[in-house]
């Protein structure tokens, strides 16, 4: 397992082990922000960036600070602090140097702190015992996979506005069913590559 | 049902809840059910419901974290500066999650392995954070605990329902035991334990709640 190349993990994290469609992470913002393609594209981009960076930072902190001092049980609190701190930092940085990007991404950044896909990616990285390069591959793949799924759902929901949905299924319920169908199509990729 | 009576027996004579205990409990567990009505915290609801046992443990975890964090946030509500309240809340919640995680690792190692990262992910569960932010910051400790309990129960019950049907339809068993008649003629449908089954199950549960509650969620508000 530990010899899998980073590229394989990248591809697997996008298609066969999509963090949203097979691990159900990041569902809250997935349902809430998927009514328009433009919004979901912005959120997706922000997630990809934050996810790559936080997996790298958390990898370094976990293996060079927490493990040597036997503080492994503090990983939850440290990881969430790193994510919140990093998001805050990025927000200030972007606001100062690129106001245009800030207006495009700005509103999504605070949302990302509570996106469980980000924390989940860090936790999976520890549980699956990835090396440094594999962690980067996984962070990038998981982010791209998440962004892909939310953009796909946003496209479907835009179309769905003109269709007649049974009354009791309106809103979130039908979004869940559509996501289920989406998850089924992604299962078609299973067996192409596999990571654990 | 037993829980409702318990909460009243504790609250009513002493009046610590100011007579709002029962109402809070009812709102949290049924009227504003966090999972089926408000659709919060669905990540874990989907991930751990492939077996009934997992769903029950996860429900217990959420009740514990929600009650504990609501109590502490409420106790500290007058001493927490407004600007750093989010960080304080996350730190409190994370502490309770670590407690539960360590408990599972010490006594139920297999269960801890099965739930994997999802115990840790309670930290980012919108229900816990939402209750701390929306309720515990404005209300006295005991009432906040009742609210935490109510929302925890509301979550746990829906989780158990989904877990029950997914395990039943996906494997033909309940809690790993074969049922006398059912298991013999029923051919397990693997789809229900896999990812798509989770989405279908939750979608149908939400739709059923919509039917029971009558009007659409927007009109309820």
Q: For residue B96, give the nearest of B120, B131, B127 by alpha carbon.
A: B120
Residues A64 and B107: beta-carbon distance below 8 Å: no
Mean pLDDT of B116-136: 83
Contact criterion met (CB < 8 Å) for A116 and B121: yes
Alpha-carbon distance B43 to A123, whole Å?
Answer: 15
**Inter-chain touch B204–A21, beta carbons under 8 Å:** no
Predicted confidence at residue A168, as pLDDT, reads: 79
Task: Assign B19 a pLDDT band (cuts: 50, 70, 90).
Answer: low
Domain residue limits, chain A: 6-187
Residue B72: the pLDDT is 92
pLDDT less than 50: residues of chain A: 1
B94 → closest Cβ in A80, A116, A179 = A80
B97 touches chain A (CB under 8 A): yes
Instruction: Supply B47's token pair.
Output: 């991930």
Q: Are B210 and A114 a contacting pair at CB < 8 A?
A: no
* Distance between CA atoms of residues B128 and A116, nearest Å: 13
- Reported as a single tens digit per residue, the pLDDT across A74-89 is 888 888 888 888 888 8
Gap between the Cα atoms of B80 and B172, Å rounded: 51
Structure-block tokens of residue B128? 């816990």
Q: What is the mean pLDDT of residues B155-178?
A: 85
- Alpha carbons within 13 A on the beta-carbon side of A126: 24
Query: What angle do helix axes A132-160 and A172-187 make, rounded to 10 degrees?
Result: 130
Q: Is B84 on the interface with A (CB under 8 A)?
A: no
Confidence class for position B5, pLDDT limits 50, 70, 90: very low
Q: Which residues of A touch B42 (CB under 8 A)?
A: 24, 27-28, 31
* Whether residue B140 has pLDDT greater than 90: no
A77 vs B200: CB contact, 8 Å cut-off? no
Mean pLDDT, residues B190-209 taken together: 85
Q: Identify the pLDDT of residue B132.
A: 84
Give the pLDDT confidence score for residue A104 in this predicted structure.
67
Q: How far apart are CA A17 and CA A20, in angstroms?
A: 9
List, for residues A135-175, the tens digit of each pLDDT value: 999 999 999 999 999 999 999 988 888 888 888 787 788 88
pLDDT at B11 exceeding the cut of 50: no
| Residue numbers in A near B121 (CB within 8 A) | 25, 116, 119-120, 123
B chain contacts of residue A181, beta-carbon cutoff 8 Å: 196
Q: What is the pLDDT of residue A103?
A: 75
Nearest chain A CA: its distance from B128 CA (Å):
11
Chain B residues within an 8 Å CB radius of A114? 124, 126, 129
Question: How many other CB atoms are there within 10 angstroms of residue A159's CB atom?
Answer: 9
Round to whole Å and give the CA distance between A165 and A144. 30
Residue with tokens 């998440």: A146
pLDDT tens, residue by residue, B24-72: 777 777 777 777 777 777 777 788 888 888 889 999 999 999 999 999 9
CB contact under 8 A, B203 and A174: yes
Contact residues, chain A, for B217 at CB < 8 Å: 171
pLDDT at B125 over 60: yes
More confident residue, A107 or B22: B22
Burial class of residue B217 in the structure, from the number of CB atoms within 10 Å of its CB (0-12 exposed, 13-18 middle, 19+ buried): middle
Give the lowest-confidence range in A150-164, B8-22, B184-198: B8-22
Residue in A with minimal Cα distance to B202: A176
Rounded Cα gap, residues B141 and B106, in angstroms: 30
User: Is residue B119 within 8 Å of residue B112, measured between CB atoms?
Assistant: yes
């Amino acid at each position: 397992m530990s010899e899998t190349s980073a590229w394989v993990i990248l591809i697997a994290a996008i298609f066969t082990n999509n963090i949203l469609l097979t691990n159900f992470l990041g569902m809250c913002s997935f349902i809430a922000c998927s009514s328009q393609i433009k919004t979901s594209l912005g959120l997706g981009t922000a997630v990809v960036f934050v996810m790559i960076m936080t997996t790298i930072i958390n990898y370094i902190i976990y293996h060079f600070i927490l493990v040597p001092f036997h503080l492994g049980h503090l990983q939850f609190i440290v990881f969430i602090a790193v994510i919140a701190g990093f998001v805050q930092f990025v927000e200030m940085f972007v606001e100062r140097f690129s106001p245009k990007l800030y207006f495009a991404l700005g509103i999504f950044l605070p949302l990302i702190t509570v996106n469980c896909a980000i924390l989940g990616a860090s936790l999976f990285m520890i549980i699956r015992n990835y090396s440094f390069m594999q962690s980067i591959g996984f962070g990038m793949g998981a982010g791209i996979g998440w962004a892909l799924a939310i953009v796909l759902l946003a496209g479907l929901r835009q179309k769905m506005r003109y269709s007649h949905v049974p009354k009791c299924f309106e809103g979130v319920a039908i979004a869940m069913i559509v996501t289920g169908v989406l998850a089924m199509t992604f299962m078609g990729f299973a067996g192409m590559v596999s990571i654990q | 049902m037993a829980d409702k009576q318990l909460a009243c027996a504790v609250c009513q004579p002493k009046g610590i809840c100011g007579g709002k205990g029962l109402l809070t409990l009812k709102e949290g567990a049924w009227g504003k059910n966090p999972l089926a009505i408000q659709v919060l915290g669905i990540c874990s609801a989907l991930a751990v419901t492939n077996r009934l046992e997992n769903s029950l443990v996860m429900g217990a975890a959420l009740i514990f974290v929600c009650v504990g964090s609501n109590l502490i946030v409420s106790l500290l509500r007058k001493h927490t500066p407004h600007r750093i309240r989010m960080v304080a809340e996350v730190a409190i919640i994370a502490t309770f999650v670590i407690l539960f995680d360590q408990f599972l690792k010490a006594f139920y190692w297999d269960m801890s392995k099965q739930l994997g990262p999802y115990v840790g992910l309670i930290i980012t569960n919108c229900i816990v954070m939402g209750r701390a932010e929306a309720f515990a910051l404005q209300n006295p400790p005991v009432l906040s605990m009742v609210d935490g309990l109510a929302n925890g129960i509301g979550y746990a019950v829906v989780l158990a329902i989904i877990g029950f049907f997914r395990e039943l339809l996906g494997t033909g068993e309940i809690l790993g035991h074969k049922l006398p008649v059912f298991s013999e003629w029923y051919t397990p449908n693997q789809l229900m334990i896999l990812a798509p089954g989770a989405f279908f199950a939750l979608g149908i549960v939400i739709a059923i709640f919509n039917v029971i509650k009558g009007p659409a969620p927007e009109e309820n508000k």
